[in-house]
């Protein structure tokens, strides 16, 4: 399959299962987005360090053969699972078996991921931890609510970047609202974390990449925060 390679100005993040990937470069990081599984339409993100060639996959959601094709001959250092829900790790066992990649999960979700996949989590992470992508680095932002151990991953490259922060949000933030929660307490927890750790910290230009569907910017979503709080979902 020949994947579509898009330039920085052409990337829009609009991908569909069975369709081509989209790729952009942000400083030392090359970001490739692909959608898998027509039923769930999960987004997976292959991150490649432009300096070292090291690669990290965010969510081995499904279709491991497709993901391994993206990985190619460059090897895979790490798979980060953004949260424990089944649709985000169906390809994990096959990808790890083929590549020997380290498995990273937010600490409160780690046991559940192992129970559901049979894959040993080699590193449990919490808020403020970092995950290397070669010479690049991802900051771990814990966002409890969609699941207890949901994490977002923040990339910033002040020296070589494109003027944006880039945030991989799993199912914790989408265009139009936070991810689904089990009840009022979980919703409040997620909104509190999103406001304090994402919207209060990062500028409007921050581009975020969710676990399903299209991307957006924090600036596009910020005016809706009060509405989200009021509706409770």
List pLDDT tens digits, range 142-178: 999 999 999 999 999 877 777 899 999 999 999 999 9
* Pairing label, strands 78-81, 102-106: parallel
Band (pLDDT 50/70/90 cuts) for residue 1 is very low
Asked whether the whole model's pTM tops 0.85, one would answer: yes
Domains identified in the chain and CATH numbers:
22-231 (3.60.15.10)
At 31-84, the pLDDT tens digits run 999 999 999 999 999 999 999 999 999 999 999 999 999 999 999 999 999 999
Query: Residue 162 has what pLDDT?
Result: 79
The CB-based long-range contact list for 17-22 (8 Å cut-off, 24+ gap) reads 17/41, 21/70
Contact between 134 and 121 under an 8 Å Cβ cutoff? The reply is: no
Query: Residue 11 has what pLDDT?
Result: 94
At 174-200, the pLDDT tens digits run 999 999 999 999 999 999 999 999 999
């Amino acid at each position: 399959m020949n994947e579509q390679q898009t330039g920085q100005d052409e990337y829009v993040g609009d991908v569909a299962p069975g369709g081509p990937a989209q790729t952009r470069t942000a400083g030392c990081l090359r970001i490739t987005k692909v959608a898998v599984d027509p039923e769930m339409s999960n987004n997976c993100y292959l991150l490649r360090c432009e300096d070292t060639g090291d690669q990290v996959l965010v969510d081995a959601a499904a279709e491991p053969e497709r993901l391994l094709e993206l990985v190619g001959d460059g090897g895979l250092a790490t798979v980060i699972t953004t949260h424990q829900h089944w649709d985000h790790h169906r390809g994990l066992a096959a990808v790890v078996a083929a590549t020997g990649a380290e498995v990273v999960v937010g600490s409160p979700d780690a046991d559940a991921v192992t129970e559901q996949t049979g894959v040993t989590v080699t590193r449990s992470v919490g808020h403020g931890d970092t995950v290397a992508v070669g010479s690049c680095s991802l900051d771990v932002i814990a966002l409890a609510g969609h699941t207890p151990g949901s994490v977002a991953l923040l990339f910033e490259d002040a020296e070589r970047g494109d003027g944006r922060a880039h945030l991989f949000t799993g199912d914790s933030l989408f265009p139009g609202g936070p991810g689904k929660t089990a009840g009022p307490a979980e919703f409040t927890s997620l909104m509190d974390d999103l406001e304090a750790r994402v919207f209060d910290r990062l500028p409007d230009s921050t581009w975020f990449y969710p676990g399903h569907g299209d991307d957006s910017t924090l600036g596009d979503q910020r005016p809706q925060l009060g509405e989200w709080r009021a509706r409770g979902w």
